[in-house]
Amino acid sequence: MRACTVAAVQVAPSPRPLCAETVADNSARAVALVRDCVAATGAELVVLPESVTTGFTPGVDVETLWRLVSAVPGPVLAPFATAAAELGIHLVVGTYERGPEPGVVYNAAVLLGPSGVLGVYRKTHPFAGERRDRGGWVTPGEDICVVSTPLGRIGLIICFDGDYPELSRITAISGAEIICRPSALLRSADLWTLTNRARAYDNHVYLIGANATGVDAAGVCYFGNSMVVTPTADVVARAASHECWVSARLDPATALASLTPGSSVPQGFDHLADRNLALIRRHADTLLGEAATPFPHGRQPT
C-alpha cells in the first residue's frame, strides 16, 4: 500500500418509519457528510457505517425491506457512486442489498472507486436477531472480499464479523492491508474498541471502523466511537457519539516501526509469518468442528 489519508464518517439514520423517502434522505445526508469530510481532510478512502441507507434495525418485514433496497449496483447505491466518481475517492458503503428472490436480503459492504463498484462483501456472521433463520431479515453471505486498489489491498468485514478472529485472519492472509468495518454495534464501546484493536493487532493490518450513531427507525440507539487503528493496535483517531468524521494518515513505512507506539524497541515479530502452521494443521479438524460455549446464556438450543 502507499501512504494515504483515510476517514470514518459516522451517520445517524433517520428515526422516521422506513420507506423510500427515508432511504433517499439517509443516503443524501451520508453523501453530504462524505463530501464535507473529503473537502476538510483530503481523505482518499472513506468508510460509512453498516446499513447507512436504512438504519440497522429496519422496523419492517423482510419482504418490504427487499422492495425498498436494490441490487448492487442499483439505484440505492447510485448517489454514493456519483460522489466517489466526482471526488475521485474510494468509498465503503454499508447497505442492505436485494437478493435474487423476494425475502432474500444481504447485509452488504460495497467498495466504490472512481470507476464504480470494485467489490461487494456480504456479512457472513449476521448478529443473532438479524438472521433470517432466527426471525430476522438477513441471509448470510458466503465469502470474503479483498480488493486491490491504487491505495493498497482493502478487505471488508461488517460489525459482528469482527467478533470472529478467523474471518479477519483469512482476509489478512488473502492480502488485505486495510480492513474496513462498517458497523452499527449494539453492545458496548469497550467491546467495540477491544475487537477493533485485536483484529488490527492479530493480523498487523490497519482497521477503519465506522459505527452508526443516533436512533434508527425501530428506536434502537447507537454510540458512534468510529476509529482508525494501526497494525500495532494504536487508536490514532476516535470519534465521540454525534454525527461527524475522524481521519488519520496511514503510512506503511512506519506501520510496524516499533514494538509499541512511540517505543524505541523495534518490532521483531510478524503474527502472520510466525504462525505455527504444523500445530494448526494438526488441529484443523478441531478448529473446523462444531462447538458451543459451556456457559449458560440467552440463546436456547435449536
How confident is the model over 166-203, as pLDDT tens digits?
Answer: 999 999 999 999 999 999 999 999 999 999 999 999 99
Ramachandran angles phi, psi of 39, nearest 5°: -65, -35
Please identify which residue in the block is written with the cell numbers 517505543.
263
In this prediction, residue 101 has a pLDDT band, given cuts at 50, 70 and 90, of very high
Residue 71, C-beta contacts closer than 8 angstroms, at least 6 positions apart: 97, 98
Among the listed residues 224, 222, 223, 196, the one whose alpha carbon sits nearest the alpha carbon of residue 208: 196
Side chain identity at residue 3, one-letter code:
A
Indicate if the pLDDT at residue 94 is higher than 80: yes
Instruction: Write out the three cell numbers for 62.
Output: 423482510
Say what the pLDDT of residue 29 is. 97
Say what the pLDDT of residue 300 is. 55
- Tell me whether residue 4 is one of the annotated catalytic residues: no
Catalytic-labelled residue, pool 123, 145, 177, 180 = 123
What global pTM score does this model have?
0.96
Domain definitions of the chain by residue range: 4-254
- Tell me whether residue 97 is one of the annotated catalytic residues: no
Which pLDDT tens digit goes with each residue over 44-61? 999 999 999 999 999 999
Average pLDDT for 5-23: 96
Say what the pLDDT of residue 302 is. 44
* CATH domain 4-254 topology: Nitrilase/N-carbamoyl-D-aminoacid amidohydrolase (3.60.110)
In this prediction, residue 217 has a pLDDT band, given cuts at 50, 70 and 90, of confident
Q: What mean pLDDT is reported for the chain? A: 96
Indicate if the pLDDT at residue 75 is higher than 90: yes
- Percentage of residues of the chain with pLDDT beyond 70: 99
Residue 134, C-beta contacts closer than 8 angstroms, at least 6 positions apart: 128
Catalytic-labelled residue, pool 4, 37, 145, 159 = 159
- Tell me whether residue 50 is one of the annotated catalytic residues: yes
Which pLDDT tens digit goes with each residue over 247-276? 999 999 999 999 888 899 999 999 999 999
Catalytic-labelled residue, pool 44, 50, 130, 177 = 50
Say what the pLDDT of residue 298 is. 81
Rg (alpha carbons) of the chain, rounded to whole number? 19
Say what the pLDDT of residue 239 is. 97
Residue 222, C-beta contacts closer than 8 angstroms, at least 6 positions apart: 12, 56, 184, 185, 186, 211, 212, 213, 214, 215, 216
Indicate if the pLDDT at residue 299 is higher than 80: no
Q: 29-33, 85-89, 128-132, 192-196: lowest mean pLDDT where?
A: 128-132
Contact 11, 213 (CB under 8 A): yes
